[in-house]
Protein backbone atom coordinates (compact mmCIF):
# COMPACT_ATOMS: atom_id res chain seq x y z
CA UNK A 1 0.00 0.00 0.00
CA UNK A 2 2.55 2.55 1.12
CA UNK A 3 4.35 3.72 -1.96
CA UNK A 4 5.62 6.95 -0.45
CA UNK A 5 7.92 7.28 2.52
CA UNK A 6 6.84 9.09 5.66
CA UNK A 7 9.04 12.07 4.83
CA UNK A 8 7.42 12.39 1.44
CA UNK A 9 3.99 12.24 3.02
CA UNK A 10 4.93 14.99 5.47
CA UNK A 11 6.34 17.08 2.61
CA UNK A 12 3.19 16.56 0.55
CA UNK A 13 1.12 17.89 3.46
CA UNK A 14 3.49 20.70 4.36
CA UNK A 15 0.73 23.31 4.44
CA UNK A 16 -1.23 21.28 6.95
CA UNK A 17 1.81 21.09 9.22
CA UNK A 18 2.43 24.77 8.74
CA UNK A 19 -0.99 25.25 10.32
CA UNK A 20 -0.48 22.62 12.99
CA UNK A 21 3.00 23.53 14.26
CA UNK A 22 2.17 26.76 16.17
CA UNK A 23 -0.58 24.89 17.99
CA UNK A 24 1.69 21.98 18.84
CA UNK A 25 4.31 24.39 20.16
CA UNK A 26 1.67 26.04 22.32
CA UNK A 27 0.68 22.64 23.74
CA UNK A 28 4.30 21.84 24.51
CA UNK A 29 4.91 25.13 26.31
CA UNK A 30 1.62 25.66 28.10
CA UNK A 31 0.53 22.05 28.72
CA UNK A 32 3.51 19.72 28.62
CA UNK A 33 5.91 21.98 30.43
CA UNK A 34 3.58 22.21 33.47
CA UNK A 35 3.17 18.44 33.30
CA UNK A 36 6.95 18.18 33.48
CA UNK A 37 6.69 20.67 36.34
CA UNK A 38 4.89 18.03 38.39
CA UNK A 39 8.39 16.68 39.14
CA UNK A 40 8.47 19.52 41.68
CA UNK A 41 6.60 17.17 43.96
CA UNK A 42 9.90 15.27 44.29
CA UNK A 43 12.08 18.37 44.65
CA UNK A 44 12.58 21.31 46.94
CA UNK A 45 11.56 24.19 44.73
CA UNK A 46 13.19 27.57 44.79
CA UNK A 47 12.49 30.30 42.25
CA UNK A 48 16.19 31.04 42.00
CA UNK A 49 17.07 27.55 40.81
CA UNK A 50 13.95 26.98 38.71
CA UNK A 51 12.10 23.72 38.17
CA UNK A 52 15.01 21.98 36.46
CA UNK A 53 17.71 23.16 38.85
CA UNK A 54 15.94 22.48 42.14
CA UNK A 55 17.35 19.51 44.01
CA UNK A 56 15.65 16.11 44.30
CA UNK A 57 14.33 15.10 47.70
CA UNK A 58 12.54 11.84 46.94
CA UNK A 59 9.20 11.19 48.59
CA UNK A 60 9.69 13.66 51.45
CA UNK A 61 6.72 15.83 50.47
CA UNK A 62 4.40 12.85 50.06
CA UNK A 63 5.25 11.43 53.44
CA UNK A 64 4.58 14.80 55.02
CA UNK A 65 1.43 15.30 52.97
CA UNK A 66 -0.18 12.03 53.99
CA UNK A 67 0.48 12.87 57.61
CA UNK A 68 -1.37 16.20 57.27
CA UNK A 69 -4.89 16.07 58.61
CA UNK A 70 -5.81 19.01 56.34
CA UNK A 71 -4.96 16.93 53.29
CA UNK A 72 -6.95 13.92 54.45
CA UNK A 73 -9.85 16.23 55.23
CA UNK A 74 -9.74 17.83 51.76
CA UNK A 75 -9.51 14.39 50.18
CA UNK A 76 -12.59 13.11 52.01
CA UNK A 77 -14.54 16.33 51.48
CA UNK A 78 -13.87 16.19 47.74
CA UNK A 79 -15.14 12.62 47.59
CA UNK A 80 -18.20 13.26 49.74
CA UNK A 81 -19.23 16.45 47.95
CA UNK A 82 -18.78 14.85 44.54
CA UNK A 83 -20.74 11.84 45.66
CA UNK A 84 -23.63 14.09 46.70
CA UNK A 85 -23.41 15.87 43.37
CA UNK A 86 -23.61 12.52 41.60
CA UNK A 87 -26.59 11.54 43.70
CA UNK A 88 -28.59 14.76 43.23
CA UNK A 89 -27.15 16.90 40.45
CA UNK A 90 -26.85 14.02 38.02
CA UNK A 91 -30.48 12.82 37.91
CA UNK A 92 -31.95 16.33 38.20
CA UNK A 93 -31.39 17.43 34.58
CA UNK A 94 -32.76 14.10 33.34
CA UNK A 95 -35.97 14.54 35.31
CA UNK A 96 -36.09 18.17 34.22
CA UNK A 97 -35.72 17.16 30.55
CA UNK A 98 -38.42 14.50 30.89
CA UNK A 99 -40.84 16.99 32.41
CA UNK A 100 -39.99 19.72 29.93
CA UNK A 101 -40.46 17.28 27.08
CA UNK A 102 -44.08 16.81 28.13
CA UNK A 103 -44.81 20.52 27.78
CA UNK A 104 -46.77 20.84 24.55
CA UNK A 105 -46.90 24.61 24.42
CA UNK A 106 -43.79 25.52 22.37
CA UNK A 107 -43.62 29.12 23.56
CA UNK A 108 -43.78 28.12 27.22
CA UNK A 109 -41.09 25.50 26.67
CA UNK A 110 -38.80 28.05 25.00
CA UNK A 111 -39.21 30.48 27.88
CA UNK A 112 -38.42 27.78 30.46
CA UNK A 113 -35.34 26.76 28.49
CA UNK A 114 -34.09 30.31 28.12
CA UNK A 115 -34.48 31.03 31.82
CA UNK A 116 -33.02 27.76 33.04
CA UNK A 117 -29.88 27.95 30.86
CA UNK A 118 -29.12 31.45 32.10
CA UNK A 119 -27.20 30.74 35.35
CA UNK A 120 -24.73 28.63 33.36
CA UNK A 121 -23.39 31.82 31.80
CA UNK A 122 -22.66 33.63 35.03
CA UNK A 123 -19.43 33.24 36.94
CA UNK A 124 -19.30 31.85 40.46
CA UNK A 125 -18.04 35.24 41.59
CA UNK A 126 -21.33 36.82 40.57
CA UNK A 127 -23.40 33.90 41.79
CA UNK A 128 -21.57 33.81 45.12
CA UNK A 129 -22.28 37.50 45.58
CA UNK A 130 -25.90 36.82 44.81
CA UNK A 131 -26.22 33.80 47.08
CA UNK A 132 -24.50 35.54 49.96
CA UNK A 133 -27.21 38.16 49.89
CA UNK A 134 -30.02 35.69 49.30
CA UNK A 135 -28.92 33.20 51.97
CA UNK A 136 -27.88 35.62 54.68
CA UNK A 137 -29.38 34.58 58.04
CA UNK A 138 -30.31 38.14 59.01
CA UNK A 139 -31.22 39.93 55.79
CA UNK A 140 -31.56 37.15 53.20
CA UNK A 141 -34.85 36.63 51.41
CA UNK A 142 -34.77 32.85 51.77
CA UNK A 143 -34.51 32.88 55.54
CA UNK A 144 -37.24 35.51 55.59
CA UNK A 145 -39.47 33.21 53.55
CA UNK A 146 -38.70 30.25 55.80
CA UNK A 147 -39.36 32.48 58.79
CA UNK A 148 -42.92 33.00 57.54
CA UNK A 149 -43.40 29.25 58.03
CA UNK A 150 -41.70 29.44 61.39
CA UNK A 151 -38.48 27.69 60.36
CA UNK A 152 -34.93 28.87 60.71
CA UNK A 153 -33.05 31.08 60.31
CA UNK A 154 -30.28 28.94 58.87
CA UNK A 155 -26.74 30.08 58.35
CA UNK A 156 -26.47 28.24 55.04
CA UNK A 157 -22.95 29.36 54.19
CA UNK A 158 -21.43 29.50 57.65
CA UNK A 159 -22.79 26.44 59.42
CA UNK A 160 -20.90 23.19 58.78
CA UNK A 161 -24.18 21.30 59.01
CA UNK A 162 -25.65 23.05 55.97
CA UNK A 163 -22.64 24.00 53.89
CA UNK A 164 -22.38 20.85 51.77
CA UNK A 165 -26.11 20.90 51.14
CA UNK A 166 -25.83 24.52 50.06
CA UNK A 167 -23.02 23.60 47.66
CA UNK A 168 -25.06 20.80 46.13
CA UNK A 169 -28.24 22.86 45.76
CA UNK A 170 -26.54 25.95 44.34
CA UNK A 171 -24.63 23.81 41.87
CA UNK A 172 -27.82 22.05 40.87
CA UNK A 173 -29.51 25.42 40.44
CA UNK A 174 -26.72 26.60 38.15
CA UNK A 175 -26.39 23.48 36.03
CA UNK A 176 -29.82 21.84 35.79
CA UNK A 177 -30.92 23.71 32.67
CA UNK A 178 -27.69 23.56 30.74
CA UNK A 179 -27.05 19.90 31.51
CA UNK A 180 -30.52 18.99 30.29
CA UNK A 181 -29.71 20.02 26.70
CA UNK A 182 -28.12 16.69 25.87
CA UNK A 183 -31.13 14.78 27.19
CA UNK A 184 -33.63 17.06 25.49
CA UNK A 185 -31.86 16.40 22.20
CA UNK A 186 -31.98 12.64 22.82
CA UNK A 187 -35.69 12.92 23.67
CA UNK A 188 -36.48 14.83 20.49
CA UNK A 189 -34.74 12.13 18.47
CA UNK A 190 -37.07 9.38 19.66
CA UNK A 191 -39.12 8.00 16.79
CA UNK A 192 -42.72 9.22 17.22
CA UNK A 193 -43.96 5.94 15.78
CA UNK A 194 -42.92 4.29 19.02
CA UNK A 195 -45.32 6.56 20.92
CA UNK A 196 -48.09 5.93 18.45
CA UNK A 197 -47.59 2.19 18.78
CA UNK A 198 -47.66 2.50 22.58
CA UNK A 199 -50.89 4.53 22.35
CA UNK A 200 -52.48 1.87 20.15
CA UNK A 201 -51.53 -0.69 22.77
CA UNK A 202 -53.44 1.41 25.26
CA UNK A 203 -50.47 2.83 27.19
CA UNK A 204 -51.04 5.97 29.22
CA UNK A 205 -48.56 8.82 29.56
CA UNK A 206 -46.82 7.29 32.55
CA UNK A 207 -46.47 3.90 30.88
CA UNK A 208 -45.14 5.64 27.77
CA UNK A 209 -42.40 7.26 29.80
CA UNK A 210 -41.44 3.95 31.44
CA UNK A 211 -41.58 1.79 28.34
CA UNK A 212 -40.65 4.12 25.49
CA UNK A 213 -38.91 7.27 26.72
CA UNK A 214 -36.58 5.88 29.39
CA UNK A 215 -35.26 2.95 27.34
CA UNK A 216 -34.63 5.32 24.43
CA UNK A 217 -32.46 7.69 26.44
CA UNK A 218 -30.79 4.99 28.56
CA UNK A 219 -27.62 4.82 26.40
CA UNK A 220 -26.90 8.55 26.66
CA UNK A 221 -27.72 8.50 30.39
CA UNK A 222 -25.24 5.65 30.88
CA UNK A 223 -22.50 7.45 29.00
CA UNK A 224 -23.08 10.67 30.92
CA UNK A 225 -23.14 8.80 34.23
CA UNK A 226 -19.86 7.10 33.49
CA UNK A 227 -18.20 10.37 32.53
CA UNK A 228 -19.57 11.94 35.67
CA UNK A 229 -17.96 9.19 37.71
CA UNK A 230 -14.71 9.93 35.97
CA UNK A 231 -14.93 13.39 37.54
CA UNK A 232 -15.23 12.11 41.08
CA UNK A 233 -11.95 13.79 41.97
CA UNK A 234 -12.38 16.90 39.94
CA UNK A 235 -13.66 19.54 42.29
CA UNK A 236 -15.81 22.57 41.73
CA UNK A 237 -12.96 24.87 42.71
CA UNK A 238 -14.68 28.02 41.42
CA UNK A 239 -17.80 27.33 43.42
CA UNK A 240 -16.17 26.31 46.68
CA UNK A 241 -13.50 29.00 46.57
CA UNK A 242 -16.07 31.77 46.23
CA UNK A 243 -18.57 30.40 48.72
CA UNK A 244 -16.51 28.94 51.53
CA UNK A 245 -14.95 30.55 54.60
CA UNK A 246 -12.83 29.38 57.48
CA UNK A 247 -15.93 28.41 59.52
CA UNK A 248 -16.75 25.61 57.09
CA UNK A 249 -13.26 24.34 56.15
CA UNK A 250 -13.91 21.12 58.00
CA UNK A 251 -16.74 20.15 55.63
CA UNK A 252 -16.07 22.34 52.61
CA UNK A 253 -12.33 22.45 51.99
CA UNK A 254 -11.66 20.42 48.83
CA UNK A 255 -8.43 19.39 47.14
CA UNK A 256 -8.42 22.41 44.81
CA UNK A 257 -8.88 24.98 47.57
CA UNK A 258 -6.38 23.12 49.77
CA UNK A 259 -3.81 23.21 46.94
CA UNK A 260 -4.41 26.93 46.52
CA UNK A 261 -3.90 27.74 50.19
CA UNK A 262 -0.86 25.50 50.52
CA UNK A 263 0.73 26.66 47.30
CA UNK A 264 -0.12 30.19 46.41
CA UNK A 265 -0.96 31.55 49.84
CA UNK A 266 1.60 29.74 52.01
CA UNK A 267 4.05 29.33 49.11
CA UNK A 268 4.75 25.67 49.78
CA UNK A 269 5.16 25.04 46.08
CA UNK A 270 6.52 21.52 46.20
CA UNK A 271 4.04 20.31 48.79
CA UNK A 272 1.03 21.59 46.90
CA UNK A 273 2.39 20.21 43.63
CA UNK A 274 2.40 16.86 45.39
CA UNK A 275 -1.32 17.34 46.05
CA UNK A 276 -1.86 18.15 42.36
CA UNK A 277 0.08 15.06 41.33
CA UNK A 278 -1.93 12.77 43.60
CA UNK A 279 -5.21 14.29 42.39
CA UNK A 280 -4.22 14.16 38.72
CA UNK A 281 -3.07 10.57 38.82
CA UNK A 282 -6.27 9.42 40.53
CA UNK A 283 -8.47 11.49 38.19
CA UNK A 284 -6.66 10.23 35.14
CA UNK A 285 -6.98 6.60 36.23
CA UNK A 286 -10.69 7.14 36.83
CA UNK A 287 -11.11 8.59 33.34
CA UNK A 288 -9.27 5.65 31.79
CA UNK A 289 -11.34 3.13 33.74
CA UNK A 290 -14.68 4.81 33.08
CA UNK A 291 -13.87 5.23 29.39
CA UNK A 292 -13.08 1.54 29.13
CA UNK A 293 -16.41 0.74 30.78
CA UNK A 294 -18.24 3.13 28.45
CA UNK A 295 -16.66 1.44 25.43
CA UNK A 296 -17.61 -2.00 26.67
CA UNK A 297 -21.20 -0.97 27.23
CA UNK A 298 -21.43 0.67 23.84
CA UNK A 299 -19.94 -2.33 22.10
CA UNK A 300 -21.86 -5.06 23.83
CA UNK A 301 -25.05 -3.04 24.07
CA UNK A 302 -26.53 -3.90 27.43
CA UNK A 303 -29.72 -2.18 26.32
CA UNK B 1 -53.77 12.78 15.68
CA UNK B 2 -56.33 13.65 18.27
CA UNK B 3 -54.92 13.51 21.77
CA UNK B 4 -57.14 11.92 24.32
CA UNK B 5 -56.16 12.60 27.88
CA UNK B 6 -57.21 10.77 30.94
CA UNK B 7 -57.97 12.67 34.10
CA UNK B 8 -54.63 11.62 35.58
CA UNK B 9 -52.77 12.92 32.57
CA UNK B 10 -54.50 16.27 32.76
CA UNK B 11 -53.52 16.62 36.40
CA UNK B 12 -49.96 15.59 35.57
CA UNK B 13 -49.77 18.24 32.85
CA UNK B 14 -51.13 20.93 35.14
CA UNK B 15 -48.64 20.02 37.88
CA UNK B 16 -45.87 19.91 35.32
CA UNK B 17 -46.63 23.44 34.08
CA UNK B 18 -46.68 24.59 37.68
CA UNK B 19 -43.37 22.91 38.55
CA UNK B 20 -41.71 24.51 35.54
CA UNK B 21 -43.09 27.91 36.50
CA UNK B 22 -41.77 27.50 40.06
CA UNK B 23 -38.38 26.44 38.77
CA UNK B 24 -38.19 29.53 36.57
CA UNK B 25 -39.23 31.69 39.49
CA UNK B 26 -36.45 30.19 41.59
CA UNK B 27 -34.01 31.04 38.79
CA UNK B 28 -35.21 34.60 38.45
CA UNK B 29 -35.90 35.48 42.06
CA UNK B 30 -32.26 35.86 43.16
CA UNK B 31 -31.74 38.36 40.34
CA UNK B 32 -34.90 40.19 41.25
CA UNK B 33 -33.91 40.35 44.88
CA UNK B 34 -30.53 41.76 43.89
CA UNK B 35 -32.19 44.33 41.65
CA UNK B 36 -34.46 45.39 44.50
CA UNK B 37 -31.48 45.80 46.79
CA UNK B 38 -29.54 47.81 44.24
CA UNK B 39 -32.28 50.44 44.04
CA UNK B 40 -32.83 50.65 47.78
CA UNK B 41 -32.26 53.91 49.54
CA UNK B 42 -30.01 53.75 52.60
CA UNK B 43 -32.97 54.56 54.83
CA UNK B 44 -34.71 51.28 53.95
CA UNK B 45 -33.79 48.66 56.58
CA UNK B 46 -32.20 45.67 54.88
CA UNK B 47 -34.60 43.32 56.66
CA UNK B 48 -37.49 44.80 54.68
CA UNK B 49 -35.99 44.29 51.30
CA UNK B 50 -37.38 41.26 49.62
CA UNK B 51 -39.57 42.33 46.75
CA UNK B 52 -39.21 46.03 46.21
CA UNK B 53 -37.81 48.75 48.46
CA UNK B 54 -40.23 51.29 49.85
CA UNK B 55 -37.85 54.08 48.92
CA UNK B 56 -35.80 53.85 45.76
CA UNK B 57 -32.75 55.77 44.69
CA UNK B 58 -30.33 55.84 41.82
CA UNK B 59 -27.55 56.95 44.14
CA UNK B 60 -26.09 53.45 44.39
CA UNK B 61 -25.72 53.22 40.64
CA UNK B 62 -24.34 56.73 40.50
CA UNK B 63 -21.67 55.59 42.97
CA UNK B 64 -20.88 52.48 40.97
CA UNK B 65 -20.55 54.40 37.71
CA UNK B 66 -18.42 57.04 39.39
CA UNK B 67 -16.05 54.38 40.69
CA UNK B 68 -12.97 54.35 38.49
CA UNK B 69 -12.12 50.76 39.53
CA UNK B 70 -15.27 49.52 37.81
CA UNK B 71 -14.26 51.24 34.57
CA UNK B 72 -10.72 49.89 34.83
CA UNK B 73 -12.26 46.44 35.28
CA UNK B 74 -14.54 46.84 32.30
CA UNK B 75 -11.66 48.04 30.15
CA UNK B 76 -9.41 45.12 31.07
CA UNK B 77 -12.21 42.60 30.73
CA UNK B 78 -13.18 43.92 27.30
CA UNK B 79 -9.53 43.82 26.23
CA UNK B 80 -9.00 40.22 27.29
CA UNK B 81 -12.35 39.13 25.90
CA UNK B 82 -11.92 40.69 22.47
CA UNK B 83 -8.22 39.97 21.95
CA UNK B 84 -8.35 36.61 23.69
CA UNK B 85 -11.35 35.40 21.71
CA UNK B 86 -9.95 36.47 18.35
CA UNK B 87 -6.56 34.85 19.00
CA UNK B 88 -8.20 31.70 20.37
CA UNK B 89 -10.40 31.39 17.32
CA UNK B 90 -7.51 31.80 14.91
CA UNK B 91 -5.44 29.21 16.79
CA UNK B 92 -8.31 26.74 17.17
CA UNK B 93 -9.23 26.82 13.49
CA UNK B 94 -5.64 26.34 12.39
CA UNK B 95 -5.10 23.39 14.68
CA UNK B 96 -8.52 21.86 14.00
CA UNK B 97 -8.16 21.86 10.22
CA UNK B 98 -5.10 19.60 9.86
CA UNK B 99 -6.47 17.26 12.52
CA UNK B 100 -9.72 16.95 10.56
CA UNK B 101 -7.86 15.49 7.56
CA UNK B 102 -7.79 11.71 7.53
CA UNK B 103 -4.68 11.72 5.35
CA UNK B 104 -2.61 13.81 7.79
CA UNK B 105 0.50 11.71 8.45
CA UNK B 106 0.52 10.26 12.00
CA UNK B 107 -2.86 11.88 12.64
CA UNK B 108 -3.58 9.64 15.63
CA UNK B 109 -0.31 10.61 17.25
CA UNK B 110 -0.89 14.36 16.84
CA UNK B 111 -4.49 14.07 18.03
CA UNK B 112 -3.53 12.01 21.10
CA UNK B 113 -0.74 14.42 21.96
CA UNK B 114 -3.34 17.17 22.18
CA UNK B 115 -6.30 15.28 23.65
CA UNK B 116 -4.12 13.82 26.42
CA UNK B 117 -3.84 17.31 27.93
CA UNK B 118 -7.62 17.35 28.48
CA UNK B 119 -7.25 14.57 31.02
CA UNK B 120 -3.88 15.20 32.55
CA UNK B 121 -2.50 18.58 33.45
CA UNK B 122 0.26 20.12 35.50
CA UNK B 123 -2.12 21.90 37.82
CA UNK B 124 -2.07 25.19 39.60
CA UNK B 125 1.54 25.49 40.81
CA UNK B 126 3.53 24.43 37.74
CA UNK B 127 1.29 26.67 35.60
CA UNK B 128 1.88 29.57 37.97
CA UNK B 129 5.63 29.02 37.87
CA UNK B 130 5.50 28.80 34.07
CA UNK B 131 3.70 32.14 33.79
CA UNK B 132 6.26 33.73 36.10
CA UNK B 133 9.21 32.27 34.22
CA UNK B 134 7.80 33.49 30.92
CA UNK B 135 7.83 36.98 32.47
CA UNK B 136 4.09 37.22 32.03
CA UNK B 137 3.42 38.03 35.67
CA UNK B 138 1.47 41.31 35.89
CA UNK B 139 1.01 41.36 32.14
CA UNK B 140 -2.41 41.32 30.47
CA UNK B 141 -1.10 38.55 28.21
CA UNK B 142 -1.01 36.22 31.23
CA UNK B 143 -4.79 36.18 30.91
CA UNK B 144 -4.67 35.28 27.22
CA UNK B 145 -1.71 33.07 26.34
CA UNK B 146 -2.24 30.25 28.87
CA UNK B 147 -5.81 29.70 27.62
CA UNK B 148 -5.20 30.39 23.94
CA UNK B 149 -6.40 26.92 23.02
CA UNK B 150 -9.29 25.09 24.58
CA UNK B 151 -9.02 21.47 23.51
CA UNK B 152 -12.71 20.74 23.87
CA UNK B 153 -13.69 23.69 21.65
CA UNK B 154 -10.99 22.83 19.15
CA UNK B 155 -12.25 19.25 18.88
CA UNK B 156 -15.79 20.52 18.31
CA UNK B 157 -14.54 22.62 15.40
CA UNK B 158 -12.57 19.65 14.08
CA UNK B 159 -15.66 17.45 14.21
CA UNK B 160 -17.60 20.03 12.27
CA UNK B 161 -14.84 20.27 9.64
CA UNK B 162 -14.91 16.49 9.33
CA UNK B 163 -18.62 16.55 8.57
CA UNK B 164 -18.05 18.73 5.48
CA UNK B 165 -18.08 16.47 2.41
CA UNK B 166 -14.63 15.63 1.01
CA UNK B 167 -15.91 16.17 -2.52
CA UNK B 168 -15.79 19.95 -2.04
CA UNK B 169 -12.12 19.77 -1.17
CA UNK B 170 -11.31 17.33 -3.97
CA UNK B 171 -12.83 19.49 -6.68
CA UNK B 172 -10.96 22.52 -5.33
CA UNK B 173 -7.72 20.54 -5.40
CA UNK B 174 -8.33 19.63 -9.02
CA UNK B 175 -8.63 23.34 -9.71
CA UNK B 176 -5.18 23.74 -8.15
CA UNK B 177 -6.09 25.11 -4.71
CA UNK B 178 -3.73 24.28 -1.83
CA UNK B 179 -4.77 23.41 1.73
CA UNK B 180 -4.61 27.01 2.93
CA UNK B 181 -6.83 28.24 0.15
CA UNK B 182 -9.31 25.44 0.77
CA UNK B 183 -9.46 26.27 4.48
CA UNK B 184 -9.98 30.00 3.98
CA UNK B 185 -12.23 29.93 0.92
CA UNK B 186 -14.31 26.81 1.46
CA UNK B 187 -14.14 25.33 4.94
CA UNK B 188 -14.35 28.46 7.10
CA UNK B 189 -17.29 30.04 5.22
CA UNK B 190 -19.17 26.75 5.54
CA UNK B 191 -18.51 26.51 9.27
CA UNK B 192 -20.11 29.72 10.41
CA UNK B 193 -22.59 28.12 12.89
CA UNK B 194 -19.94 26.25 14.85
CA UNK B 195 -17.50 29.15 14.72
CA UNK B 196 -20.21 31.41 16.16
CA UNK B 197 -20.79 28.92 18.97
CA UNK B 198 -17.13 28.60 19.86
CA UNK B 199 -16.63 32.37 19.69
CA UNK B 200 -19.48 32.88 22.13
CA UNK B 201 -18.27 30.19 24.51
CA UNK B 202 -14.75 31.58 24.48
CA UNK B 203 -15.98 35.13 24.97
CA UNK B 204 -18.14 34.12 27.93
CA UNK B 205 -15.31 32.21 29.57
CA UNK B 206 -13.00 35.22 29.15
CA UNK B 207 -15.66 37.56 30.49
CA UNK B 208 -16.23 35.34 33.52
CA UNK B 209 -12.61 34.40 34.27
CA UNK B 210 -11.33 35.67 37.59
CA UNK B 211 -8.84 33.20 39.04
CA UNK B 212 -6.05 33.89 36.54
CA UNK B 213 -6.34 37.60 37.18
CA UNK B 214 -6.31 36.92 40.92
CA UNK B 215 -3.05 34.97 40.84
CA UNK B 216 -1.19 36.49 37.85
CA UNK B 217 -2.00 40.19 38.27
CA UNK B 218 -1.19 42.31 41.28
CA UNK B 219 -1.27 45.70 39.53
CA UNK B 220 -4.61 47.35 40.33
CA UNK B 221 -4.79 48.96 36.90
CA UNK B 222 -4.73 45.62 35.15
CA UNK B 223 -7.38 43.78 37.16
CA UNK B 224 -10.40 42.47 35.32
CA UNK B 225 -13.97 43.21 36.32
CA UNK B 226 -14.61 39.82 37.97
CA UNK B 227 -11.63 40.21 40.29
CA UNK B 228 -12.64 43.74 41.27
CA UNK B 229 -16.18 42.51 41.73
CA UNK B 230 -14.89 39.70 43.91
CA UNK B 231 -13.03 42.09 46.16
CA UNK B 232 -15.98 44.44 46.43
CA UNK B 233 -18.75 41.90 46.87
CA UNK B 234 -17.13 38.93 48.58
CA UNK B 235 -14.41 40.68 50.54
CA UNK B 236 -16.32 43.92 51.03
CA UNK B 237 -13.37 46.12 50.17
CA UNK B 238 -14.49 49.68 50.95
CA UNK B 239 -11.37 51.00 49.30
CA UNK B 240 -12.31 49.47 45.94
CA UNK B 241 -15.86 50.70 46.37
CA UNK B 242 -14.37 54.16 46.80
CA UNK B 243 -16.24 54.53 50.07
CA UNK B 244 -13.33 55.72 52.17
CA UNK B 245 -15.50 58.44 53.67
CA UNK B 246 -16.94 55.89 56.09
CA UNK B 247 -20.44 55.49 57.42
CA UNK B 248 -21.17 59.20 57.84
CA UNK B 249 -20.38 60.02 54.23
CA UNK B 250 -22.41 57.06 53.06
CA UNK B 251 -25.44 58.08 55.01
CA UNK B 252 -25.17 61.65 53.75
CA UNK B 253 -25.28 60.48 50.14
CA UNK B 254 -28.07 57.97 50.78
CA UNK B 255 -26.07 54.87 49.82
CA UNK B 256 -25.21 51.74 51.75
CA UNK B 257 -22.38 49.32 51.11
CA UNK B 258 -24.83 46.41 50.69
CA UNK B 259 -26.82 48.29 48.06
CA UNK B 260 -23.62 49.29 46.28
CA UNK B 261 -22.52 45.65 46.23
CA UNK B 262 -25.85 44.70 44.69
CA UNK B 263 -25.63 47.48 42.11
CA UNK B 264 -22.08 46.42 41.25
CA UNK B 265 -23.19 42.83 40.60
CA UNK B 266 -26.06 44.07 38.43
CA UNK B 267 -23.76 46.33 36.42
CA UNK B 268 -21.27 43.50 35.86
CA UNK B 269 -23.97 41.01 34.90
CA UNK B 270 -26.04 43.20 32.59
CA UNK B 271 -23.88 42.76 29.46
CA UNK B 272 -24.38 39.00 29.62
CA UNK B 273 -28.07 39.25 30.51
CA UNK B 274 -28.69 41.57 27.57
CA UNK B 275 -26.75 39.59 24.98
CA UNK B 276 -27.76 36.12 26.10
CA UNK B 277 -31.37 35.76 24.84
CA UNK B 278 -30.36 36.75 21.31
CA UNK B 279 -27.38 34.44 21.18
CA UNK B 280 -28.87 31.48 23.02
CA UNK B 281 -29.36 29.30 19.94
CA UNK B 282 -25.66 29.52 19.07
CA UNK B 283 -24.66 28.65 22.62
CA UNK B 284 -26.77 25.51 22.53
CA UNK B 285 -25.66 24.32 19.11
CA UNK B 286 -22.16 23.33 20.18
CA UNK B 287 -23.39 21.11 23.01
CA UNK B 288 -25.24 19.03 20.48
CA UNK B 289 -22.43 18.86 17.94
CA UNK B 290 -20.03 18.00 20.76
CA UNK B 291 -22.21 15.33 22.28
CA UNK B 292 -22.94 13.60 18.99
CA UNK B 293 -19.37 12.97 18.07
CA UNK B 294 -17.33 13.95 21.09
**Segment B239-258, tens digit of pLDDT:** 777 665 555 555 556 677 88
Q: Which chain B positions have a beta carbon within 8 Å of A13's beta carbon?
A: 98, 101, 103-105, 179
pLDDT at B113: 95
* Selected residue of A10, A16, A261, A278 to mutate for chain B interface (largest B Cβ count, 10 A): A16
pLDDT of B243: 64
Residue partners of B193: CB distance under 8 A and separation at least 6:
B160, B282, B285
CB contact under 8 A, A38 and B149: no
| Residue A300 reports pLDDT greater than 60 | no
Give domain B82-221's CATH number out of 3.40.228.10, 1.10.3720.10, 2.40.240.10, 1.25.40.10.
1.10.3720.10
Type and span of the H or E element at A156: none
Furthest CA-CA distance within chain A: 82
Q: Go through chain A and tell me how many residues it has.
A: 303
- Model confidence pLDDT, tens digit, residues B76-127: 999 999 999 999 999 999 999 999 998 899 999 999 999 999 888 988 999 9
Helix, coil or strand: residue A244: coil
List, as ranges, residues 203-232 from B with C-beta within 8 Å of A.
Answer: 204, 207-211, 215, 226, 229-230
pTM for this structure? Answer: 0.89
- Is there a contact between A30 and B130 if contact means CB atoms under 8 Å apart? yes
Give the tens place of pLDDT for each residue, A172-228: 999 999 999 989 988 988 888 888 888 888 887 788 888 888 888 888 888 788 778
pLDDT in tens, A26-80: 999 999 999 999 999 999 888 888 888 888 998 999 999 999 999 999 999 999 9
Query: Where does the pLDDT of residue A2 fall: very low under 50, low under 70, confident under 90, or very high at 90 and above?
Result: low
Rounded average pLDDT over B253-279: 85
Residue B168 CB neighbours (<10 A): 13
Taking CB atoms and an 8 Å cutoff, what residues of chain B touch A284?
119-120
Least confident of A106-110, A285-289, B23-27, B52-56: B52-56
* Residue contact B129–A269, C-beta within 8 A: yes
Q: Identify which of B149, B164, B160 has the alpha carbon closest to the alpha carbon of residue B90.
A: B149
Helix intervals (H) in A102-210: 106-117, 124-135, 141-148, 160-188, 192-200, 205-208
Name the average pLDDT for chain A.
88
Provide the chain A residues 21-80 that lie in CB contact (below 8 A) with chain B: 22-24, 26-27, 29-38, 40, 45, 47, 50-51
Query: What pLDDT is recorded for position B1?
Result: 43
ipTM reported for the complex, 2 dp:
0.89
Interface contact A135, partner B, CB < 8 A: no
* Domain residue ranges of chain B, discontinuous segments joined by +: 82-221
Residue A9: what pLDDT? 87
Residues A102 and A184: their CA atoms lie apart, in Å, by 11
Using 50, 70 and 90 to split pLDDT, how confident is the model at B59? confident
> In this predicted structure, what is the pLDDT of residue A104?
86
| CATH code for the part of the protein at A65-300 | 1.10.3720.10
Q: Tell me whether residues B284 and A181 touch, CB distance under 8 A.
A: yes
Amino acid sequence: MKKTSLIQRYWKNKYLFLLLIPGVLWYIVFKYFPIYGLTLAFKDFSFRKGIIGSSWVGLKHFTYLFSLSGFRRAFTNTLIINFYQLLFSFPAPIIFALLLNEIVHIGYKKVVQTISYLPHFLSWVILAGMFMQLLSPSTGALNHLLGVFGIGPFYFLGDPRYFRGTLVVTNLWKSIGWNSIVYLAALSNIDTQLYEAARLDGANKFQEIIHVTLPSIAPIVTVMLIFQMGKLFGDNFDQVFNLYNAAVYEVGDVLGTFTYRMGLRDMQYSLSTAVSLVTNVISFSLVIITNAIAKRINDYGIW
Amino acid sequence: MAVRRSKGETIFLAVNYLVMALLCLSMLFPFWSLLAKSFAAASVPSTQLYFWPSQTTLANYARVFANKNIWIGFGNTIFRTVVGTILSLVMSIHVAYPLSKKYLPNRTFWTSLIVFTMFFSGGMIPEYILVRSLKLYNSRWALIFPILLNTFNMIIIRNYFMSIPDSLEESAKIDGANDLLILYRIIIPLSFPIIATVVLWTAVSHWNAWFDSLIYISDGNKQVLQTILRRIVLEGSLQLMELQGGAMAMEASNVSSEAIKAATVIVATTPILVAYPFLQKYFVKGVLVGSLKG
